[in-house]
Each structure stands twice: as structure tokens, then as C-alpha cells.
Amino acid sequence: MVLSDRIILVTGSSRGIGAALARGLARHGATIIVNYHRSKDMALAVLDEVKKYSPESSLLGFDVGDKEAVDRAFEQIISGYGRIDVLFNNAGIMKSSQIEGISDSDTFDIFRTNAIGSLHCLQAAILSMKKMRSGKIINISSISQFSPFYRSTQYAMSKGAVNMLTRCAALELGEYNITVNSLIPGIIESDIDPRYDDPALMERMRKIVPLQSIGKPETMVGSAVFLASDLSNYITGIDILVDGGFSLFKDKNPQ
Ligand SMILES: NC(=O)c1ccc[n+]([C@@H]2O[C@H](COP(=O)([O-])OP(=O)(O)OC[C@H]3O[C@@H](n4cnc5c(N)ncnc54)[C@H](OP(=O)(O)O)[C@@H]3O)[C@@H](O)[C@H]2O)c1
């Protein structure tokens, strides 16, 4: 199996895309550290499924925005498994607001999780990866990093920062044989955006996706396996869009 012997942390794997990645990567042989922040019961259920494929997998709750908690978590990973091979920076939150309504506290929360949380985990992961002179970091970004949606300013700003994290880290870490890439989901069914609960809006969105369907969290697994495996060893600093062609459409904001 392409991911045999890989130790992989997926942040925010209690639900949504992260949970699907944890299950899918385990099916390809990886040992998974399932991370949660608030949804411990859901994370335990994900771990149960993951363990059917990789019994050495484990659960680790921490807030990616809390640097000390992140550092402690990585110390635990290294003392338990001896190393970390792959980090998926998947934990993320979004809030929707018109520009006049944007509050500092919401903006701070979004940056703290999406951008600074990804940086914290990357900083902690490379301590061990640099010693091994190998490692793979995959940031889960968003189409918002290069193409705006209405009422998503703070989220898009935070994903723009993740975009630059991918590029800057790929540049700096290449000499240690550490690759840094990003996966860009299109519209994927999950809890992240309350607007996804509106069936009429989702139907309008579905029709403008060239492949004519809304993605499922499992849709992300194939490219995740590719970026986590040796198949992608000479690839760094790139984005892989997994969006059914959605980014090709000019007006992604049907009202
Ligand atoms: N779904 C989409 O259409 C879409 C599109 C583009 C990009 N994305 C990106 O894909 C990633 C996953 O999103 P999703 O759609 O799967 O969202 P989701 O269903 O809302 O899940 C978010 C996950 O992030 C975790 N999380 C939130 N804050 C955290 C923190 N401070 N520390 C650790 N974990 C934290 C949550 O854990 P707890 O529940 O345990 O707190 C949960 O597991 C995000 O980065 C998102 O921006 C999603």
C-alpha cells in the first residue's frame, strides 16, 4: 500500500473533510493521528473506523491556534511514534459577513485557526522532519485564496495567508527534502458554511459546477493520498484543485 509505515497527523479530523481524509489515508496503509478541538465524541467515532485499517492510530485533542498546546501535542507524537511523516493542515473555520459587519474578534478567530494554526503545526512538524531530511506538509486551502466569494472577506484573507505559507515554506524547506503543497476543495458538503444548508442555493451551485455535482468529503481522498505518498516526491509549492471545474466558472456567486 502506498502509505504503509507513514505516520500522518490530520488536524480537524473529527468531522467533514478531515474525517474523510483520516479514513481514506488509513485505508491506504497510514497510521493516523486523529485531531479534534471541540468534537471529541465524533473524533472517537472516526478513530474507531480508522483503527479497522491501522490499529496503531490514536486520538489527540488540541487547539491548533494555541502554540503551547500544539508543541506539547507534537512532543507526544514524537515520543509515541518516533517521527511524523506527513502533516495535513486541515482544521479550519469560516464566518460569513458583509464588510461593514466584520468584527475584530471574528477576524482574529478565523486567522488564529486557519492561518496561524497552520503555521504552528508546520513549525512543530519540521523539527522532526528536518532531522529525518524528509517530510510532506499539505495545507487545505480554498478557492477563496485566489478568487473571491461574496461576504467571505475574512475567510478569503486567511486562506490568502495559507497560500503564501505554502509557497514560502516550500521555498525554505526544499533543501531538507520537505515538500509543502496545498489541496484546494471546491464546494464540499460539510458543516463549515451555514449557507450549505440551503437546498435551493446548493442546487444552483451544483448546476454551475462543470462536473454537475457538489463534492463529498471523500472526494478529497485521491489527491490527498497522492500528495502524502512517494508518488509526489518531486512536487512542491503547488495547489491541486479538487473542485469539479468550479473555479472555471466566472460568477461563482449565484444570488
Ligand atoms: N467544505 C468546503 O466546501 C470547503 C471548501 C474549501 C476549503 N475548505 C477547507 O477544508 C477544511 C475542512 O473544512 P470542512 O468543510 O471539513 O469543515 P468542518 O466540517 O466545519 O470541519 C472543521 C474541522 O476543523 C476542526 N477545527 C476547527 N477549529 C479548530 C481548532 N482551533 N483546532 C483544531 N481543530 C479545529 C473541527 O474540529 P472540532 O469540531 O473538534 O472543533 C472540525 O474537525 C478547512 O480548512 C476549510 O477551510 C472546505
Expressed in angstroms and rounded, the spacing between residue 53 Cα and the centre of ligand 1 is: 23
The reply to whether 127 falls in a domain is yes
Please determine, for residue 254, whether its predicted confidence score (pLDDT) is greater than 70.
no
- Which residues partner with 7 through β-bridges? 31
- CATH code of the domain in which 47 resides: 3.40.50.720
C-alpha–C-alpha distance, residues 50 and 29, integer Å: 10
- pTM above threshold 0.85: yes
Give the residue, by CA position, lying nearest to ligand 1 atom 44: 92
In a domain, residue 25? The reply is yes
Q: Which residue do the cell numbers 505518498 mark?
A: 229
Q: Which residues make Cβ contacts (< 8 Å) with residue 105, sequence separation at least 6?
A: none
Closest CA to 114 of 91, 146, 97: 91
Tens of pLDDT, residue by residue over 134-165, are 999 999 999 999 888 899 999 999 999 999 99
β-bridge pairing 7-10 and 135-140: unpaired
Query: Backbone dihedral region of 29: left (phi > 0), alpha (psi from -120 to 50 degrees) or beta?
Result: left
Q: How many domains does the chain have?
A: 1
Please indicate whether residue 128, judged by its CB atom, sits closer than 6 Å to ligand 1.
no
The owner of cell 469539479 is 244
Pocket test for ligand 1, best of 32, 66, 70, 93 (most atoms within 8 A of CB): 93
CA distance 48 to 195: 30
Closest CA to ligand 1's atom 6? 142
Question: For position 98, what pLDDT does the model report?
Answer: 96
- Write out the three cell numbers for 134: 524528509
Looking at the domain assignment, is residue 210 inside a domain? no
Q: Note the pLDDT tens digit of each residue in 55-89.
A: 999 999 999 999 999 999 999 999 999 999 999 99
Which residues lie across from 140 on neighbouring strands?
183
Is residue 2 in some structural domain?
A: no
Residue 209: inside a domain, yes or no? no
Q: How far apart are CA 151 and CA 156, in angstroms?
A: 9
List C-alpha distances in Å: 8 to 17, 32, 88, 125, 249.
15, 5, 8, 11, 34
Angle in degrees, CA 24, 60, 82, rounded to 5: 85
Write out the three cell numbers for 36: 479534534
Residue 253 lies in a domain: no
Contact 42/13 with Cβ under 8 angstroms? no
- The verdict on residue 66 lying in a domain is yes
Say which residues have a Cβ less than 8 Å from residue 103's Cβ, sequence separation at least 6: 97
Ligand 1 center–CA 175 separation, angstroms: 31
Residue 119: φ, ψ to 5°: -65, -45
Better-scored residue on pLDDT, 248 or 21? 21
Q: Looking at the domain assignment, is residue 128 inside a domain?
A: yes
Give dist(CA 162, CA 165) in Å, integer: 5
Q: 13 pLDDT exceeds 80?
A: yes
pLDDT one-digit tens code per residue, 101-125: 999 999 999 999 999 999 999 999 9
pLDDT bracket for residue 249 (50, 70, 90): confident
What is the separation of C-alpha 105 from the centre of its chain, rounded to a whole number of angstroms?
A: 23
- pLDDT, one tens digit per residue, over 209-240 is 999 999 999 999 999 999 999 999 999 999 99
Residue type, 48: D
| C-alpha cell read off for 82 | 518516533
Residue type at 254 in one-letter notation = P
Residue identified by cell 472555471 is: 248
Three-class secondary structure of residue 47 per DSSP: helix
| Grid cell 531538507 in the structure block, residue | 176
Minimum-distance ligand 1 atom for the alpha carbon of 144: 6
Per-residue pLDDT at 178 exceeds 90: yes
The parent domain of residue 24 ranges over: 7-192+215-248
Question: Is-catalytic flag, 150?
Answer: no
